Structure 1
Amino acid sequence: MVGVKLVFGFLVLLCLFTEARLCYAAGRNRFSGSRKEVEVLKHLNRVNKRPVKSIKSPDGDIIDCVRISHQPAFDHPFLKNHTIKLMPNWITNDDIKVPSSSSENNEAITQLWHSNGKCPTGTIPVRRTKKEDVLRASSVKTYGKKSFSASVKPNSIDPDMFNQNGHQHAIAYAQGQFYGAKATMNVWKPKIDQSNEFSLSQIWILGGSFASDLNSIEAGWQVSPDLYGDNNTRLFIYWTSDAYEATGCYNLLCSGFIQINNEIAIGGSISPISQFHGSQYDITILIWKDPEEGNWWMQFGNGKVLGYWPATLFSHLTRSASMIEWGGEVINTASDGRHTTTQMGSGQFPEQGFSKASYFKNIQIVDESNNLRAPKDLETFSEQPNCYDVQTRSNRNWGTHFYYGGPGRNPKCP
């Protein structure tokens, strides 16, 4: 009888001990979850500024109309006492003031939120960051940032190391001394294989060492489920001054870029989209350095000056850029041991040509005399041409241009 009581008592103690451990683990998990939630909420309070007005977009975005002086840029320690520039110093060419950025059928590109309202003068449209946006990132610290260098100097790539990074390109590039770049690119909705992959088309303005202190200004369109929570094609920008290590971010998700335009939401969905063997829609992007103050300005579409990256953000780009790149980029996670099926551009190879393949046309650089001109010695680069490729061309109507892109995995790209 005594033995039975001892066994029973031991079992009771064991149950109590096990329950205590489970309660401790559950409590620790609740605390951990709570701590992360507090961190997320603090981040949202920092990045989402109080709006004058909010607009619900058909795609589910909330566009906040934030006073220009209250935008995220001014959280940067270098910009605390910055005086906002409302008009850039134009470059010499007259055609810069009213650039052609309409689509092939002359219908202008717009953004989906425009159908439900507009932001008043004195404000800028800012895509509201939601809790679920931040939670998709690996951490609050990495939200809105590239996890590693996505641009690598084409003639110094170690293909084995590069493919480990997973970023793949099909680009045209020029090396020299530049003060800006311009191009018109058609807009597509490439299919994304995995949610942590993306596909984009953009202009890169580069200076410095690709290994450590790269300065980069980037702008174009992208599809990125992880960043935005959907597969919409969106206008984006990016910057870094230390090779993507700590500085910079996408869009207005950190301090840096100063927006002055109240019509275009950076990070907002673009509409309409080019159709295979159908109507083609394109956007024109110009980025150039103000010769007097050194700020890097961005223009989008028909004369819409969006804003600028202040010169104080950079080291090498305070003088000039040493390389310009135009083209496409994807992430290839090779999650099942095979190449991704994420498409670049339209998902077609460049030899397919107009209305099927993606293009960049009227490619220009800004030279030391503050003029727009075609780049000399344009070169091309692709890590795996059987997956994504690029082909340059030139004619009177489109000037220097190229087709690029591809489907990713295919019989020649296993």
Structure 2
Amino acid sequence: MASSCCTPVPVIAISLGLLLLASISSVLSESMGNNTFRPRKELLKSRRMRALLKRLNKPSAKTIQSPDGDIIDCVPSHLQPAFDHPRLKGLKPMDPPERPRGHRFTDPLVDESFQLWRISGESCPDGTIPVRRTNEEDVLRATSVKKFGRKLAARLRRDSESSSHEHAVGYVVGDQYYGAKASLNVWAPSVTSPTEFSLSQIWVISGSFGHDLNTIEAGWQVSPQLYGDNAPRFFTYWTTDAYQTTGCYNLLCSGFIQTNNRIAIGAAISPTSTYNGGQFDISLLVWKDPNHGNWWLEFGSGLLVGYWPSFLFSHLAEHASMVQFGGEIVNTQPSGSHTSTQMGSGHFAHEGFGKASYFRNVQVVDWDNSLIPVQNLRVLADHPDCYDVQGGSNSVWGNYFYYGGPGRNVRCP
């Protein structure tokens, strides 16, 4: 009996031991699988990053070190990233187009020293363009290598109620527009989170606010994720499918063709406006070349920056149906409350000149390639307790508006 009573014990022990060994084996196998998978994933990411950096950082004729740490490469014009596009390979930048009638042309040389990298007086040689060098740290700050240089799917004014993107803008809609022009003052707003941004810009828009939205955008922005600091920077953007898969900032994909050797898109702007002090503003003009259909960008009073080829777009290959001016921020609701990221100066519109941000001399280009004052400029703020806008007109500034705000405050929790 003793023998028979004792036989189940080792059987149970053996069974438990086998189960334990199987469990350990499973854990080890899973661990080894993960360890194998992770290096493969990291290796693939590293390869993609190296390929991206090689594609963006072209051979340069000269390198300039900016006081803020940026490296500016003087890249031969025909080697810039835009000419990687299959429809542009082997081509060169086009000659400047006819400017819109009513455009007041002055000496563009006064506009050339608005960026930090030009403080020393250096510029890129003729036949080259200045390109801000992209490094690994820039790419690693993005959510992925694939999404580097692109906006997250942003909704414009009409859909912003359900979006983290908030606006305070002036806009015109209901006609055919062939360009837009305005002067806007530059600030250095505080941005709360690295994944947020604050910008002021012109939007040239066509298509619906669905997946076929076309936009051309230019202005200044503070974007820690994109640039690694909190400096306001001159930027451009474009998309043909509502920011889904097409388009990018600056020269970070095949798109915008730069023709200027003295302006670096993506480089820091200096000086900036100060509260109750000196105001520094920039003028931007975007217009459609009536002969070739390309959309050109001019800075200041005659300094051509470059152009977006018409074939990049669907609806904008014809004309714009809406033009928008103003500010935009991203609100990620840190700590569950509204962000404290500032728009513009960080002060509300009612504070006026020297304190609030502004757009002045707001104009559009009509079908006849003429610059005309905006008719029926409408203003709208998504969340006026956080950021607001107030419009007006006078004989000096033409159509204008003040806009901006601090974000989180007692009325904007």
TM-score, with length taken from structure 2: 0.91
Residue 110 of structure 1 aligns to a residue in which SS? coil
**1:115, CA displacement in angstroms?**
2.9
Q: Which residue is equivalent to 1:92?
A: 101
User: Which of 136, 141, 144 is equivalent to 2:146?
Assistant: 141
Correspondence 1:273 to 2:272: yes
Larger radius of gyration: 2
What are the Cα deviations for residues 180-222 of structure 1, in whole angstroms up to 9, with x where unaligned? Answer: 1100000000000111000000000011111121111000000
User: Which of 168, 171, 182 is equivalent to 2:169?
Assistant: 171
The range that moved more, 29-38 or 168-177, is: 29-38
What are the Cα deviations for residues 315-338 of structure 1, in whole angstroms up to 9, with x where unaligned? Answer: 211221111100000001113221
Question: C-alpha distance in 1, partners of 2:96/2:392?
Answer: 35
Task: State the identity as a percent.
Answer: 52
For 1:243-258, what aligned pairs fall within 5 Å after superposition? 243-258=242-257
**1:110, CA displacement in angstroms?**
1.3
For 1:104-143, what aligned pairs fall within 5 Å after superposition? 110-116=114-120, 117-143=122-148
For 1:14-413, what aligned pairs fall within 5 Å after superposition? 22-96=31-105, 110-116=114-120, 117-153=122-158, 157=159, 162-175=160-173, 176-413=175-412
Structure 1 141/58 Cα, relative in aligned 2: closer, same or farther at 3 Å?
same
**1:23, CA displacement in angstroms?**
4.7
Which runs of at least 4 in structure 1 moved beyond 6 Å after TM superposition? Answer: 9-17, 99-102
Residue 245 of structure 1 aligns to a residue in which SS? coil
Residue 386 of structure 2 aligns to a residue in which SS? coil
Question: C-alpha distance in 2, partners of 1:317/1:12?
Answer: 66
User: For residue 210 of structure 1, what is the amino acid of its counterpart?
Assistant: F
What are the Cα deviations for residues 246-279 of structure 1, in whole angstroms up to 9, with x where unaligned? Answer: 1110000000111000000000000011111111
Contact 1:381 1:390 in 2 (8 A): yes
What are the Cα deviations for residues 274-328 of structure 1, in whole angstroms up to 9, with x where unaligned? Answer: 1111111010000111111111110012421001111111121122111110000
Question: C-alpha distance in 1, partners of 2:23/2:172?
Answer: 72
Question: C-alpha distance in 2, partners of 1:357/1:268?
Answer: 24
**1:26, CA displacement in angstroms?**
3.0
User: For residue 307 of structure 1, what is the amino acid of its counterpart?
Assistant: G
Structure 1 14/333 Cα, relative in aligned 2: closer, same or farther at 3 Å?
closer
Residue 307 of structure 2 aligns to a residue in which SS? strand
Question: C-alpha distance in 2, partners of 1:279/1:113?
Answer: 22
TM-score, with length taken from structure 1: 0.91
Question: C-alpha distance in 1, partners of 2:91/2:311?
Answer: 10
**1:93, CA displacement in angstroms?**
2.0
User: For residue 89 of structure 1, what is the amino acid of its counterpart?
Assistant: E
Contact 1:101 1:284 in 2 (8 A): no
What are the Cα deviations for residues 31-79 of structure 1, in whole angstroms up to 9, with x where unaligned? Answer: 2212211111111111111111111111111111100000000112232
Contact 2:103 2:371 in 1 (8 A): no
Question: C-alpha distance in 2, partners of 1:346/1:100?
Answer: 28
Residue 324 of structure 2 aligns to a residue in which SS? strand
Question: C-alpha distance in 2, partners of 1:263/1:408?
Answer: 35
Contact 2:210 2:242 in 1 (8 A): yes
User: For residue 170 of structure 1, what is the amino acid of its counterpart?
Assistant: A
Contact 2:205 2:213 in 1 (8 A): yes
Contact 2:349 2:405 in 1 (8 A): yes
Q: Which residue is equivalent to 2:7?
A: none
Contact 2:102 2:372 in 1 (8 A): no
Question: C-alpha distance in 2, partners of 1:114/1:393?
Answer: 36
User: For residue 48 of structure 1, what is the amino acid of its counterpart?
Assistant: N
The range that moved more, 112-121 or 332-341, is: 112-121
Structure 1 369/98 Cα, relative in aligned 2: closer, same or farther at 3 Å?
farther
Q: Which residue is equivalent to 2:5?
A: none
Question: C-alpha distance in 2, partners of 1:199/1:267?
Answer: 14
Contact 2:275 2:355 in 1 (8 A): yes
Question: C-alpha distance in 1, partners of 2:108/2:51?
Answer: 41
**1:369, CA displacement in angstroms?**
1.9
Contact 1:78 1:313 in 2 (8 A): no
Contact 1:329 1:344 in 2 (8 A): yes
Structure 1 16/367 Cα, relative in aligned 2: closer, same or farther at 3 Å?
closer
**1:163, CA displacement in angstroms?**
4.0
**1:132, CA displacement in angstroms?**
1.2
Question: C-alpha distance in 2, partners of 1:96/1:289?
Answer: 18
Structure 1 101/164 Cα, relative in aligned 2: closer, same or farther at 3 Å?
farther
**1:99, CA displacement in angstroms?**
7.8
Question: C-alpha distance in 1, partners of 2:146/2:26?
Answer: 38
Question: C-alpha distance in 2, partners of 1:94/1:400?
Answer: 16
Question: C-alpha distance in 1, partners of 2:50/2:318?
Answer: 39
Question: C-alpha distance in 1, partners of 2:371/2:397?
Answer: 15
Question: C-alpha distance in 1, partners of 2:30/2:372?
Answer: 71
